[in-house]
Each structure stands twice: as C-alpha cells, then as structure tokens.
Amino acid sequence: MTIRGATSADLPALEQLWRAFFAEVPEAPWRDVDPDVELREITEIVAGEVALIAEDDEGAPAGFLLARRMGARLGRLTDLYVVPSARDRGVASALVLEAVGRLRELGLDHVELEVTAANSAARLVYERWGFHEDELTLVAPLDVLDQRLAPKAGASSGAVFVQTDDTTAVERAVSAFAPRIGSSGSTVEAPARGWITVRDDVASREPEALRRLARELSDRMGAVVILLGIEDGAVVRLVAFERGTIMDEYLSVPEYHGALPPGDVIALAANPTVLARLCGAEPAAVRAAAATAASPSELPPAAELAATLAAALGLPPFEG
C-alpha cells in the first residue's frame, strides 16, 4: 500500500472515491448536499491544501483523505474514506498519520473532524487515535420544537397527598421547603380518609416544582406521598413516592411530551399492584381509573379523569 499526495491528475479517481463514500454514508435527509459543490471543494483542496490518496500494490485507488487549514493552529479533516476491500489493513491510520506530518509543516498543531453521533464504530476509532469531543451539534425538527415550545392552551394544577394524620409534622416540612421554590401560599388541610392534602400556589402551577415538593415531603417524613396533577389542562400525572423514592408514575397520555422508548410508555401506564399496596386500594379499580391513550381527545376531560383516579386510590376529593 502506498500513500502519496494527490494531484490534479487524480481528480477523476478522487471523484469516484467520494461518490462511493457518499453512497455508503449518506448525509441526513434534511441536509442538502450538492455533488458539484463538493467536487469543486475537492479540486480546491488538491490545489492548495492537504490531499492524499492511497493505492494498493497494483496502483488502484484504495482510499483518500482531504484536510484544510481552519486557522493559525487548527486544521480540519474534511474527508477520510477507504474502499471496503482495503479495510482492516491500517490504510485509514496511515492516511491520517501522513496528514499529521503535512499539517504540521503548515504550522498547525491541532486537527478536527466531524462524525455523526450514530456512527459509533468510527467514533470509537477516532477516540482511540486521540480525538475527543469539543463541540456538539444538535438538530431538531421544527414540528417538534413547535409542539414542545408553543404556549399550551390550559393551565397546570395539582396537589400532594401525604399518608398521615400528623398535621403538625406536615406543616413543618412544608414550611421548610416552600421558601426554596419561592412559595408564599401553602395550605395544609385537615386529614381526610387517612391523607393530608397539601396545596401550594407555586407548585400547583409548575409540575416540576410539585414533583420536588412531593419528593421532599416523602423523604423528610418517611411517608407515602401521592402527587396528583393536571398538566397543560390536558393530561393527568400521578407520581407515588415512598421514603423519597418514586415507586410508580402515571401519565394519561404517556407520549404527550414527546416520543418515548416502548418500556417507558408501559412504565407510565401505572402499576395497579404497587398503587394498591401503597394506598390500600383495589387493583381492579385502579386499573380501570388509570386510563391511557395516544391523545387527550381520546380520554375523559382531565379534571374528571383525575377525580376518578383519586376516588379509586382512596384519596380526598381532587379539586384541580
């Protein structure tokens, strides 16, 4: 195998190699790749930057590398490709090693490259050579951003239910936590059905703050605590804590906030056995009340669904 600098006479061979490379590792469909523009860039690099070609023992092209100056100290490896028949023979590393020497002759001391996050095999090779992550490029469909960021039509609300009749202990725990979320209006209601209801002016409107309040109360008191809330006026969320640990979670539309792995979708459907143990409810009643669907329109109104779930669990009436 021979590694040498590419010249203008090698442009036809470089074009063939680039097209093979592009066919094997296509760009993401949302990026527009113009072959004419890419081939013009190859011509420019051959004329004044670092362009290498690998040839097998018969002189046939086996791979290529292109790199260019990006600054006073930095170069960029723009293309690296080895034909399938020449792989696992050290051709890629030989191309990069030769490029290192030529980039150093240009006065550079660092080189960067781009690789797709999904190309785990290439990333492992590059890391072994000494490359490390410096910047991350993130991409998102506009439809997803629109869905996630657009103001929601409805408001969020909710309450926390603590399995105890010790009102004083709950009041102390709430007063210690509320200032951390900027709350000035917490209420601790009298025990009902074996539960004390806690409502908070800030946490009731912010699902994440409500979750923190429920976890804090469960952890501080070593108690079973149930969070029950409505998010965006559309979906019902229930989280069951025991001694500060999440034991079960339910979301009436599991993928309301975005696509999830199948296992997570199942996990958000509620576990009647666990909830029955924590609350003393009938598993069949919990199973019937914890309905899920692909969209809010396929379920009863969120306030009705939350009230049904509270009744099935034996909680005080839910007032969303």
Rounded Cα distance between 230 and 251, Å, is: 10
Cβ neighbours, 10 Å, residue 206: 18
Indicate the pTM of the whole model. Answer: 0.55
Query: What is the DSSP track for 212-241?
Result: HHHHHHHHHHT-EEEEEEEETTTEEEEEEE
Rounded Cα distance between 142 and 147, Å, is: 9
What is the per-residue pLDDT for 29? 77
Q: What is the pLDDT along the chain (320 residues), one digit of tens a residue?
A: 899 999 999 999 999 999 999 888 767 777 888 889 999 999 999 999 999 999 999 999 999 999 999 999 999 999 999 999 999 999 999 999 999 999 999 999 999 999 988 888 899 999 999 999 998 888 888 877 776 676 566 788 999 999 999 999 999 999 888 765 555 578 999 999 999 999 988 888 889 999 999 999 999 999 999 999 999 999 999 999 999 999 999 999 999 988 888 888 888 999 999 999 999 999 999 999 999 999 999 999 999 999 999 999 999 999 86
Measuring CA to CA, which residue among 240, 319, 239 is closest to residue 277?
240
What is the per-residue pLDDT for 148? 66
Measuring CA to CA, which residue among 41, 40, 54 is closest to residue 6?
54
Strand partners, 68: 76
Which 3 state secondary structure label does DSSP give 181? helix
Measuring CA to CA, which residue among 189, 203, 191 is closest to residue 158?
203
CATH code of the domain occupying 2-129: 3.40.630.30
Contact partners, residue 243, CB within 8 Å, separation at least 6: 218, 219, 222, 223
What is the per-residue pLDDT for 307? 96
**How would you write 59-73 as a 3-class SS string?**
CCEEEEEEEEECCCC
SS3 content of the chain, % helix, strand, coil (to 5): 40, 20, 35
Cβ neighbours, 10 Å, residue 224: 21
The two structure tokens encoding residue 137 = 């490029």
Query: Domain locations in the chain?
Result: 2-129, 152-313
Contact partners, residue 198, CB within 8 Å, separation at least 6: 159, 160, 161, 162, 170, 174, 186, 187, 188, 189, 213, 217
The two structure tokens encoding residue 318 = 């839910």
Rounded Cα distance between 313 and 176, Å, is: 28
What is the per-residue pLDDT for 27? 72
